[in-house]
Structure 1
Amino acid sequence: MRTAIKTPEKTDKSVDREDSTPQQDGSNSPAMVQLRSVTKTYTNGYEALLDVNLEVKQKEFLFITGPSGSGKSTLLKMLYGEELPTQGEVIIDDCNVAALRGDRLSLLRRRIGVVFQDYKLIPQRTVAENVTFVLQAQGYTRKEIQRRLEPTLKLVGLLSKADRFPDQLSGGEQQRVSIARAIVGTPPLLLADEPTGNLDPDNSWQVMQILQKLNTFGATVIVTTHDEQLVRRCNHPVVQVQNGRLYRK
């Protein structure tokens, strides 16, 4: 049985179970992410999310599962401001995302790393250039960029391939470049949208190990996936999106 995640006064069923998931060090930390009665309705009338409530503490690792088209990607897009809720509030680190504009929204996004399923790498740039592109745009000095680049590439196992271009890499390597780009600015919140969707099991596990290591370093990590086997193997808290509603598993 699953439990729809609603405000307490609206909860109509509950699940009694023993939770064997290890507690993260940040289990008593303040909330990094809060969705409060969030509904998202597109202009064509499609309701992607319905009265969704969610809280993710700092330093937690959360999986969001569900079939294609269930609303997982919409939920993640609202966390970094690409989509706005039709109703309700999306709060990131005490900031109401919908209230932010211009520079204030840009500053929030600097605190959020995003990993995409299709990598979104620039074909004409090397691994190192893809990773440091955002830092250059944000005005980091060359010295600071170089200081960050080497340990980041080492973390994802790509230091020896810094001068390669994306088409010279495997799919797993390209996804690791995407992760490096997302974390080089050391954001406290990392969002990964189906990061293993295009990868084989071995590369998928390698990517998940990197994300889990980042979590141990203190990052709050939220991952959407439809890979139930990978979710079970990692043993982190899970919520499921189904027909626009959120259920605790």
Structure 2
Amino acid sequence: MNSDDERGFFGEAPFPALHKKTKTPEKPHYHGHRERLRNRFAESGSDSLTDYEMLELLLFRSIPRADTKGMAKALIKRFGSFAEVLGAPEHLLTEVPGIGKTAALDLKIVAAAAQRMLKSQVHRKQVLSSWSAVVDYCRAAMAFETREQFRILFLDKKNTLIADEVQQTGTVDHTPVYPREVVRRALELSASAVILVHNHPSGDPTPSRADIEMTKTIIDTAKPLGISVHDHVIIGKSGHVSMKGLLLI
């Protein structure tokens, strides 16, 4: 290359920039949405949020780098309600797109915390005078289980709750109950009375003929030993039924 060519080459070449400006990356669109949702909760409380928006708030911490609105709506669509999402088994939660094991576990932790809070409101208290709190706790613990559970609340002579135990877990429509085991455990705990509770995964809390007969057998077994059966409560997704309230026992 001769000198003329060199002058022409350097004359046509662009002069390199001394300070190249870097473009500041824009924040993802969901960042502003998250902040607005948090502010609405802080200012107006949970009543100002829909079920899926409450789920979004929970998912923010589990899934920090994604838009969780679609996931929250998918959870509600799959399971039906906020409570049913928290009550769903972990393996079913992970079937919803975007919900991994970490997010599913975090949702179950929230559910367990809610149950423990409700349980603390009835533990060591006179159950019959705190009946609504008892029902709320049982619903939180059992309403959305996919299998039947038979739970027993053991009370002392002042009707104070001394123990709460799941005696049996069965199938989707049946739980084996052994009256002698119910009474034996009551004697071990020095309980003077019990409240029987079980759930219907179908959602309908209406007692079956088998439920009624089983309850009467437990009453007949416990009575000679000085143990009273105050009630048998059946929990469903849509509500609960008291056998005593229906005059079935």
Q: TM-score, normalised to structure 2's length?
A: 0.27
Structure with greater strand percent: 1
The structure showing larger relative contact order (alpha-carbon pairs under 8 Å, at least 6 residues apart) is: 1
Q: Which has the larger radius of gyration?
A: 2
